[in-house]
Chain A
Amino acid sequence: MAKLSARFPVYSRLLKLYPTRYQERYGEQMLQTLADMLDANSSATGRLLVWLRATRDFPASLFSQQWAYAGTVLSRETPRFVQRNALVSGLLFVPFFAIATANDLVAHRLYHTWLWSFDVLVAWIVLLPAFGLLLSTATLFAWLRLNKRSWWQSLRDIAHNWMMLLPILLGVGILSLVFFHDSVHCVTGNPVRELHNPHATLRCVEQR
């Protein structure tokens, strides 16, 4: 393996992008097959065609293996509490996307409904996404503790963690949008005070 890795340093590094188990099982054989293909072609054109074939083949194969791995992890190796918490986290983001999309569809007429009253607004724009973010982050750390591998290794294994990483990204995205949106600076520059005065914020944003 070391010899072949030295012969194909870039390709062998690319193979590390495959799921670890796949790479351990077939990485060496893939390098060996590539070596056999190149050795069977003595002409420069033939060798170039082999490299083109291997390069063209790589992205689709990588995606399909990562996809298959993610499916296997989800169905066979993900503890129940992780699946449940991922589902709950995902559901907590639904009101934000549903209300925001609905508001766009009706030309922002929901601004003047109860959905934009202070308590309700704080609930769907801040509390629910924040709770989703907290739940998914806590679940990710709990799961990383259960894994036998190092935290860094586990965290790098995106196919393993995507169920938690996705809600974390969504949560961070929504809360960043809320707290760093133009509207915040529009009124006070202070996110907490801005939330206490949503109508003034909206007027200010509309005037911009």
Chain B
Amino acid sequence: MSRNAPGFLPQVAFSILLALSLRPRHGYELMQQIEEDSHGKLRLGPGALYGAIRQLHDDGLIEEVSPESSHERRRYYRLTPAGAARLGAEVEYFEASVSLAKERRILGNAMRLMPWLS
């Protein structure tokens, strides 16, 4: 199974792509957006954030944006077309998974439906 198949992007990387889908952002803005998007469940430190940024950058899914002012010390990142396509594929995969879970009435009901788990 290909590592690039949808559903295989790590959580932090997926969250970064999702946060960049609105507009280019710098590191701290990304952290804030990710925290907001995950309702406070995903709180990154600088190490985890830039580790994921490096990986996404090396994979060609995000790119740096030239700063508008030469005084700007923060680097901004945005999605590349490949990154947008990958994000779309991931979201479609999750959407299909959630539909399936709803169809099987698993959401919020998993333990009741699968008594052998308890």
Contacts and interface: CB of A to CB of B under 8 A. Distances in A.
Contacts of B50: 26, 29-30, 33, 61
Contact of B47 (A28, A36, A62): A62
Size bracket of the B interface: 10 to 19
A30 B53 CA distance: 11
Contacts of A54: 45-47
B60 interface: no
Contact of A56 (B31, B45, B51): B45
Secondary structure of the B side of the interface? helix
A146 to B, nearest CB: 25
A57 B55 CA distance: 17
Interface in A64-91: 64-65, 68
A107 to B, nearest CB: 46
Interface in A23-42: 25-26, 28-30, 32-34, 36-37, 40
A132 to B, nearest CB: 35
B105 interface: no
A58 interface: yes
A54 B75 CA distance: 19
A22 interface: yes
Interface string B53-89: 1110000000000000000011100000000000000
B44 interface: yes
B93 interface: no
A149 B75 CA distance: 28
A29 to B, nearest CB: 6
- Which of B26, B27, B53, B55 has most chain A Cβ within 10 Å? B27
Given A29-B74, A36-B27, A36-B28, A65 B51 contact: yes
B73 A28 contact: yes
Nearest to B49: A33
B73 to A, nearest CB: 6
Given A33-B27, A34-B46, 12 more contacts: A33-B50, A36-B27, A37-B46, A53-B45, A57-B47, A61-B46, A61-B47, A61-B51, A65-B47, A65-B51, A65-B54, A68-B55
9 contacts: A29-B26, A29-B75, A30-B46, A32-B28, A33-B27, A53-B45, A58-B47, A60-B48, A61-B45
